[in-house]
Amino acid sequence: MLNNITLGQYYPVDSRIHRLDPRTKLICAIVFIVDVFLADSFIGYAILLAFLYAVTRLSNVPFKMLLRSLKPLRMILILTFLLNLFFTQGETVWIEWWIIRITKEAFLQALFYSLRLVFLVAGTSLLTLTTSPVALADGIEILLSPLKIIHFPAHELAMMMTIALRFIPTLLEETDKIMKAQMARGADFESGNLITRAKAMVPLLVPLFVSAFRRAGDLAMAMESRCYHGGEGRTRLRVLKITRADRIAMLILALLTVCVVLEGMLF
């Protein structure tokens, strides 16, 4: 039952975007975020929207998946929209009733800020939809490695991410096993209010934690016995390579930035 879980929201298909180097995608995502903040008109947004549309088409990820990534955000979106709508001062009054006053400016600003949120989430979702978590960890390790000068543990961070990803299925399987064992002894995880249910989790979590600590000890020993001694002098089986496609992708992002900035200056 737990065999087919996909980690994170990675959408495993092949595409030009999937094949890009994770570092390129990380950098592009960051540039895109900056562009979203640089864009200060709906024309700028139209450019960003066209870009998002093109990338999504290229990535072979269904638009439905992208919309799904926006779903957890819906409350924040509604709140942003309503707060901006009601509390922005404006000239052109559309509706005025009791203490409610809605102006054209307020509406436009509400729309603008909500869209900004949508773009931010859609842009970063495209990164995680098209990049496997392991590739992402690799990319982060290399991008952060210059920070080693100030003793930032870039390698350790990436190793932690990889090990976490490796053990998520194992621990899920174990949770399932403990749960069934406790249910066989009459434990009830489903009925009662929130507090009763939270209390029922204790006999599940305690053995899970104990075993996780034991696993950590075992794994540390196994890693040491295979000569693990940190990131120093380590080589990699999978070497990341910047290809022509990566250079093109970065160029496109640079162009996008220029367009957004120019548009802001001209209009």
Partner 1 sequence: MTDDVRVRLEDVSYTYEEAKKPALSHVDAVVHPGEFLAVLGHNGSGKSTLAKLLNALYIPTEGTVLVCGYDTRKEELVWEIRRRAGMIFQNPDNQIVATVVKEDVAFGLENLGVPTEEMIPRVESSLAAVRMNKYADSAPHMLSGGQKQRVAIAGILAMEPAIIIADEATAMLDPSGRAEVLDTIRRLNREKGITVVWITHFMEEAAQADRVIIVSEGELIASGAPDEIFDRVDFMRENHLDVPPMADLASWLREQGVPLKKGILTVDDMVKEVERVLCPSKSDT
Q: In the window 146-175, what residues touch partner 1 (CB under 8 A)?
A: 162-163, 165-166, 169-170, 173
Q: In the window 7-26, what residues touch partner 1 (CB under 8 A)?
A: none
Backbone angles phi, psi at 100, to 5 degrees: -90, 130
Nearer to partner 1, 10 or 113 (CB): 10
Nearer to partner 1, 99 or 237 (CB): 237
The contact pattern for partner 1, residues 187-226, with x = CB under 8 A and - = no contact, is ---------------------------xx--xx-xxxxxx
Query: Could you tell me the two tokens for 148?
Result: 């080693």
The secondary structure element, H or E, covering residue 119 is helix 104-130
Nearer to partner 1, 80 or 211 (CB): 211
Q: What beta strand segments (E) does the chain contain?
A: 93-97, 100-103
Nearer to partner 1, 201 or 223 (CB): 223
Query: Could you tell me the two tokens for 52?
Result: 């998002």
Query: Alpha-carbon distance 29 to 34, whole Å?
Result: 9
Question: What is the closest distance, in whole angstroms, from the C-beta atom of residue 153 to partner 1 in the complex?
Answer: 17
Site for partner 1 contains 1 (CB under 8 A): no
Query: Alpha-carbon distance 102 to 94, whole Å?
Result: 6
Near partner 1 by CB under 8 A: residue from 82, 228, 242, 255 = 228
Report which of 245, 244, 242, 39 is spatially closest to residue 123, judged by C-alpha positions: 39
Q: In the window 90-149, what residues touch partner 1 (CB under 8 A)?
A: 134
3-state SS class at 84: helix
Question: What is the closest distance, in whole angstroms, from the C-beta atom of residue 207 to partner 1 in the complex?
Answer: 16
Bridge partner list, 101: 96
234 neighbors 8 (Cβ within 8 angstroms): no
Site for partner 1 contains 239 (CB under 8 A): yes
Binding site for partner 1 (CB under 8 A): 3, 134, 162-163, 165-166, 169-170, 173, 214-215, 218-219, 221-229, 233-239
